[in-house]
Amino acid sequence: MPLIKAAVCHEFGAPLKIEDVELRAPEGAEVEVTLDAVAICHSDISFASGGWGGSLPAVYGHEAAGRVTAVGDRVSGVSVGDSVVVTLIRACGSCPNCASGRPVICETPYDGDTGPLKTKDGGKLHQAMASGAFAEKVVVDQAQVVRISADIPKDAASLIACGVITGVGAVVNAAQLRAGQDVVVIGAGGVGLNAIQGARIAGARRIVAVDMSTEKLEIAKEFGATDGILATEDKPWGQLEQAIGRKGVDAVIVTVGAIPAYNDAPKYLAAGGRVVMVGMPHIGDGATYDPGTFAAMGQGTVGSKMGDVVIQRDIPWMVDLYAQGRLKLDELISGRWSLEQINDAIEDTKTGAARRNVILFDR
């Protein structure tokens, strides 16, 4: 069986190890993609730290782009040589959620322990998040890839696979923000900046970034935020009226997994507003709300997984926005690293200063 290089997690919280692993050929509706780039998402870090459990040893990574180099005998829609974005959204297409247009919460389970990856000696190797993209190649279901123009730089394209669709989709699909409405985005990291871009694209009147860093608030304005509030201030939600002329907003997008952010989010809402939960705390963490206020004010909360996207519909739209200069992608990249530098890139991402670090694979 062919060998490829991958960054393998053998122990939660320990550095990843670059080693040779087996990757079988695509079967049936599977596609092999030789990767040009994979971005590092905080979800990868949470899994690798043990925050969400999971099977080991494992290969993480799920924001990727590359070229199709082999296909199974039941693949349609993509061909060898196509440039593609690779996502973690593995949708069966026929379960109730897929059939109703919600493929991000497909009900058909996938067992990464029995996927296309094996250790060099043929042992179990978990394909995390149905992707395993911290590797030179991946084999994934055809439902997980979207064909893009070869002219789109792969480092920029890789960001669309998760961070961009999650942030933009949370505003457009989950919050269903309309032109002229106001929004607060809590967290001005990679996903938060994309939520801000989504609000700008949707025509929001005021886009208020909330973060603990003044530097990040300034960066947020480059991506479309009209106002910034420091989360470290006493009762920061009290600054809304002075900033935007009203005491609450129509939607609050929480893009970080910090419990204090979730506790504070409803305090920014106007009557009839909605909190959209995007950031994922560790398992067992809990937030506290006053349900009576939600009932009395007609407010609500909703979870948004991967921006509630339909990738074959939404990714081509976002790629086109990028080509027009209306969606910033290149500006999201903080650093470019080799696979051998992945642990350094992860540590840099943990500092919170990076927007997105991208691993590039040499040809």
Each domain of the chain, given as residue ranges in start order, spans 3-162+308-360, 176-303
Nearest CA to 190 out of 286, 261, 284, 257 is that of 257
The whole-number mean pLDDT for each consecutive block of 10 residues of the chain, a chain of 363 residues, reads 93 97 98 98 91 94 98 96 98 95 95 96 96 98 97 97 97 97 96 97 98 95 97 94 95 95 96 96 88 94 96 96 97 96 95 90 73
User: What pLDDT score was predicted for residue 360?
Assistant: 98
pLDDT at 82: 98
d(CA 166, CA 168): 6
Interatomic CA distance for residues 62 and 144, integer angstroms? 10
Task: For residues 245 and 278, give the distance between their C-alpha atoms in angstroms, rounded to a whole number.
Answer: 26
Question: How would you label 188-211 residue by residue, b for 16+ Cβ within 10 Å and e otherwise?
Answer: bbbbbbbbbbbbbbbebbbbbbbb
d(CA 38, CA 48): 16
Enter the tokens of residue 75.
């693949």
At 262, the amino acid letter reads Y
In the three-class reduction of DSSP (H, G, I as helix; E, B as strand; rest coil), residue 291 is classed as helix
Determine contact, residues 19/5, Cβ cutoff 8 Å. Answer: yes
Please state the pTM of the whole predicted model: 0.94
Distance between CA atoms of residues 199 and 276, nearest Å:
13
Q: Which residues contact 322 (CB under 8 A, 6 or more apart)?
A: 152, 156, 160, 328, 329
Q: How far apart are CA 99 and CA 102, in angstroms?
A: 7
Residue at token pair 């080799």: 338
| Domain 176-303 class in CATH | alpha beta
The residue count for the chain: 363
Closest CA to 55 of 107, 132, 122: 132
Instruction: Return the pLDDT at 282.
Output: 83
Question: What's the half-sphere exposure (Cβ side, CA atoms, 13 Å) at 2?
Answer: 14
Contact (Cβ atoms closer than 8 angstroms) between residue 9 and residue 130: no
Predicted local distance difference test score (pLDDT) of residue 313: 95
C-alpha dihedral sign at 352, 325, 67, 86: positive
Pairing of strands 83-86, 63-71: antiparallel
Query: pLDDT per residue over 64-112, tens digit each?
Result: 999 999 999 999 999 999 999 999 999 999 999 999 999 999 999 999 9
Q: What angle do CA 298, 301, 306 make, to 5 degrees?
A: 145
Distance from chain centroid for Cα 21: 26
The SS3 call for residue 353 is: coil
User: Which residue type, as a one-letter code, is found at position 44?
Assistant: D
What is the distance between the alpha carbons of residues 208 and 305, in angstroms, rounded to a whole number? 22
For the domain with range 3-162+308-360, which CATH number is right: 1.10.645.10, 3.90.79.10, 3.90.180.10, 3.40.605.10? 3.90.180.10
